[in-house]
């Protein structure tokens, strides 16, 4: 079980294929039933909801149900934990990346989907977005690269990196907590390896 990180928040973006401005009150009412909303804003096609607690509900199921009720195709982006990042800059970046993803390709979007759909254009901005505070951390990059090049073998990687196995485990866990990418899982490891190879 993962522990919650303090002093952080998350947000979701609900995007409609057609304007959803008339459904904002209904969306706010529905989401406030299972989360404490710290802020909600909107434009014609988007609703931005910020919250702090861990949610044990399928956002995919919720958005599919809302779509069928209002007869509008919707998709949802769910952020990982954010702390000192400028939320509005973060949201603007996410919206720019979502524009590159065909609307009906994904109903549920997170940082893993954004990265998977933009692997062909890895730039410094995407690197900062995905790796967050570890974007320029060469020690973390070497740790990840060493671990993955040892086929995710913790003992072998610890020997190769000249660190104690527990130190390696702690670094990998910290990376997961900050970025949301668990390099112990194949798909996450594959995506992150593109940044450190």
pTM, full prediction: 0.86
pLDDT at 4: 42
For 57-83, the pLDDT digits (tens) are 899 999 999 988 888 899 999 998 887
Domain 130-196 fold: Arc Repressor Mutant, subunit A (1.10.10)
Pair 105, 118: CB distance under 8 Å: no
Query: Do the domains 130-196 and 10-109 match in fold?
Result: no
53 confidence band (pLDDT: 50, 70, 90): confident
Give the residue-averaged pLDDT of 141-162: 95
What are the DSSP calls for the chain, one per residue?
Answer: -PPPPSS-BEEEEEEESS--GGGHHHHHHHHTTTS-EEEEEE-SSEEEEEE-S---S-HHHHHHHHHHHHTS-EEEEE---BSSS-HHHHHHHHHHHHTTS-TTT-SEE-HHHHHHHTGGG--HHHHHHHHGGGTT-HHHHHHHHHHHHTTT-HHHHHHHHTS-HHHHHHHHHHHHHHHS--TTSHHHHHHHHHHH-
pLDDT at 3: 41
- The yes-or-no verdict on residue 6 having pLDDT over 70 is no
* Domain positions in the chain: 10-109, 130-196
121 confidence band (pLDDT: 50, 70, 90): confident
Domain 10-109 fold: Alpha-Beta Plaits (3.30.70)
- How do 74-78 and 108-109 pair as beta strands? parallel
For 152-175, the pLDDT digits (tens) are 999 999 999 999 999 999 999 999
130 confidence band (pLDDT: 50, 70, 90): very high
């Amino acid at each position: 079980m993962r522990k919650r990180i303090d002093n952080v928040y998350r947000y979701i973006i609900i995007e409609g294929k057609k304007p959803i401005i008339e459904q904002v009150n209904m969306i706010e009412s529905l989401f406030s039933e299972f989360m404490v909303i710290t802020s909600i804003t909107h434009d014609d096609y988007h609703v931005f909801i910020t919250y702090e607690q861990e949610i044990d509900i399928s956002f995919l199921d919720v958005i599919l149900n809302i779509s069928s009720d209002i007869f509008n195709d919707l998709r949802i982006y769910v952020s990982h934990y954010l702390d000192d990042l400028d939320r509005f800059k973060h949201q603007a970046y996410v919206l720019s990346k979502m524009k590159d993803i065909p609307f009906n390709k994904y109903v549920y979007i997170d940082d893993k989907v954004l990265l998977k759909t933009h692997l062909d254009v890895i730039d410094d901005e995407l690197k900062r977005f995905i790796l967050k505070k570890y974007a320029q951390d060469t020690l973390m990059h070497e740790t990840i690269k060493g671990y993955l090049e040892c086929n995710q073998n913790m003992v072998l990687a610890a020997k190769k990196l000249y660190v104690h196995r527990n130190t390696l485990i702690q670094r990998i866990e910290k990376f997961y907590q900050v970025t949301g990418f668990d390099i112990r899982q194949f798909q996450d490891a594959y995506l992150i390896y593109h940044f450190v190879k």
